[in-house]
């Protein structure tokens, strides 16, 4: 029989709360950061080991060009000390990892348009805009309206650490951005209006640009730092584009792969229904409205036929649709090519449907749509803004929409209505 004291001890032991494993998200950001880093380092080592093994096994079988390529890579590399061993690391590490296309590694220069904003001050020596003397400019400047979103420049699966700090007379509110998925780099964004300290996933909004600190107007000052040496380096286009758009610049291979299925984003039936709803030739359920079988354009008095209100002569609505689909598909190639050049990826389905509806309404405006977008996957409001701005003639700076009375209010009203109709079909 147990003594009362022993019993009490057992009861006490049983009622003691058992230690439970805390949820990852409940840990402090610093602890999460340490865990993520050590885990990813371990994964990287395993992956490198596997790659090395496969490489050794395949080496005798590979073609001479590849041998030559490896040779070049090794000889163009730089000596890097990792712990007690010295390894060769070739220069464009990110390019080889397939993280960014080669063009993304180019340095940001004055005049470049990145994420829809133009760089007006470059990296290097310059006359300081406030102090008037010649100084090193450690980053690049882009005028951006206060409140412009900044994203983490990393893939969605990544964890990115953001430290927000304040330097009232200089950098203002600024963010230091690091991620184990962007090895060797630290990014600094200055003069922010908002900044969110903590761990974020890739592509998350982490700050808003502003005009804090020593600044002559709302702008983003962006720096790239080599984390090994702590030295500022010439910022590269891809990271800045990623931070301003939230979208990963694609590698050339991905772009080329994307060139084939571009047409599959919207099939002919959806295209007819979406644009037909905006034109008033199709009902919400994609059945034909009487206007489908022929109507007169209220703007220019021309005879229209089919879903797209085709005006160039056809013997039946079906023939009119087939002819216009052919034209729209050609326009689509040009539009997506522009998107790939600007964003590194084609437009989203919603943006593409609106680009084509705009092109159907006014080809010149449709061709200008991408120019007025900030991202390949814009919000409905961004689509309406870009559609409306596309009616401004770039040569004269004036509205060119006689069918809408060249009135900004009419255009915006019309473009809002059409965007709503198209999105209702594309995102039901």
CA 347 to chain centre: 11
Site for Zn ion in 274-293 (CB under 5 A): none
- Asked if residue 421 binds Zn ion (CB under 5 A), the reply is no
Nearer to Zn ion, 213 or 246 (CB): 213
Q: 58: exposed, middle or buried (C-beta count within 10 Å: 0-12, 13-18, 19+)?
A: exposed
Annotate each residue in 164-203 with x if it binds Zn ion (CB under 5 A) or - if it does not, as one string. ----------------------------------------
Q: What is the number of other CB atoms lying within 10 angstroms of the CB of residue 302? A: 11
Long-range CB contacts (within 8 A, 24+) of 408-415: 412/384, 412/388, 415/358, 415/384, 415/387, 415/388
Cβ 197 to Zn ion, closest distance in Å? 22
- Asked if residue 221 binds Zn ion (CB under 5 A), the reply is yes
Distances (CA, A) of 386 to 44, 188, 289, 367: 42, 30, 29, 12
Cβ 163 to Zn ion, closest distance in Å? 19
Cβ 247 to Zn ion, closest distance in Å? 24
Cβ 356 to Zn ion, closest distance in Å? 40
- Asked if residue 387 binds Zn ion (CB under 5 A), the reply is no
Nearer to Zn ion, 119 or 262 (CB): 119
Nearer to Zn ion, 195 or 339 (CB): 195
Do residues 137 and 124 lie in contact, with contact meaning Cβ atoms separated by under 8 Å? yes
- How far apart (Å, rounded) are the C-alpha atoms in residues 2 and 83? 59
Site for Zn ion in 85-114 (CB under 5 A): none
Residue 271 parent element (H or E): helix 268-279
Instruction: Give Rg (Cα) of the chain.
Output: 28
Contact window for Zn ion (CB under 5 A) among 27-35, 217-225, 321-329, 419-427: 217-225
Contact window for Zn ion (CB under 5 A) among 49-57, 133-141, 339-347, 357-365: 133-141
Cβ 297 to Zn ion, closest distance in Å? 51
Residue 231's contacts (CB-CB under 8 Å, 6 or more residues apart) are: 225
- Asked if residue 141 binds Zn ion (CB under 5 A), the reply is yes
User: If we measure between CA atoms, which residue out of 220, 62, 245, 89 comes closest to residue 153?
Assistant: 245
Annotate each residue in 32-61 with x if it binds Zn ion (CB under 5 A) or - if it does not, as one string. ------------------------------
Q: Which residues bind Zn ion (CB under 5 A)?
A: 141, 221
């Amino acid at each position: 029989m147990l003594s009362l004291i022993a019993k009490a001890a057992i009861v006490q032991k049983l009622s003691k709360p058992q230690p439970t494993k805390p949820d990852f998200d409940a840990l402090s950001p610093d602890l999460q950061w340490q865990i993520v880093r050590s885990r990813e380092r371990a994964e990287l080592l395993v992956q490198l080991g596997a790659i090395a093994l496969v490489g050794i096994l395949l080496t005798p079988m590979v073609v001479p060009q590849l041998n030559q390529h490896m040779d070049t890579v090794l000889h163009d590399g730089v000596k890097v000390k990792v712990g007690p061993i010295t390894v060769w690391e070739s220069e464009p590490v990110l390019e080889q990892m397939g993280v960014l296309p080669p063009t993304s590694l180019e340095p940001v220069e004055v005049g470049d348009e990145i994420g829809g904003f133009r760089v007006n001050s470059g990296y290097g020596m310059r006359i300081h805009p406030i102090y008037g003397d010649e100084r090193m400019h450690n980053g690049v400047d882009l005028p951006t309206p206060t409140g412009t979103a900044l994203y983490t420049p990393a893939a969605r699966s990544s964890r990115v650490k953001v430290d927000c700090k304040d330097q009232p007379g200089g950098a203002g509110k600024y963010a230091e951005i690091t991620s184990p998925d962007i090895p060797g780099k630290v990014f600094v964004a200055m003069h922010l209006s908002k900044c969110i300290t903590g761990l974020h996933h890739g592509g998350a909004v982490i700050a808003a640009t502003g005009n804090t600190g020593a600044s002559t107007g709302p702008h983003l000052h962006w720096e790239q730092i080599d984390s090994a040496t702590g030295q500022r380096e010439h910022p590269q286009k891809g990271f800045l584009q990623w931070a301003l758009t939230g979208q990963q610049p694609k590698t050339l291979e991905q772009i080329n792969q994307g060139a084939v299925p571009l047409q599959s984003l919207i099939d002919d039936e959806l295209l007819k229904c979406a644009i037909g709803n905006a034109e008033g030739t199709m009902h919400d359920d994609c059945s034909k409205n009487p206007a489908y079988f022929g109507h007169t354009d209220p703007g220019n008095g021309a005879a229209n036929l089919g879903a797209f209100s085709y005006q160039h002569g056809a013997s039946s609505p079906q023939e009119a649709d087939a002819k216009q689909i052919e034209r729209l598909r050609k326009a689509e190639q040009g539009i997506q090519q522009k998107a790939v050049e600007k964003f590194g990826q084609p437009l989203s389905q919603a943006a593409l449907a609106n680009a084509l509806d705009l092109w159907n309404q006014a080809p010149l405006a449709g061709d200008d749509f991408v120019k007025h977008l900030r991202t390949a996957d814009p919000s409905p409001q961004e689509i309406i803004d870009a559609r409306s701005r596309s009616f401004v003639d770039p040569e004269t700076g004036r509205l060119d929409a006689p069918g809408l009375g060249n009135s900004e209010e009419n255009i915006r009203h019309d473009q809002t209505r059409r965007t709503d109709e198209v999105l209702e079909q594309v995102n039901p």
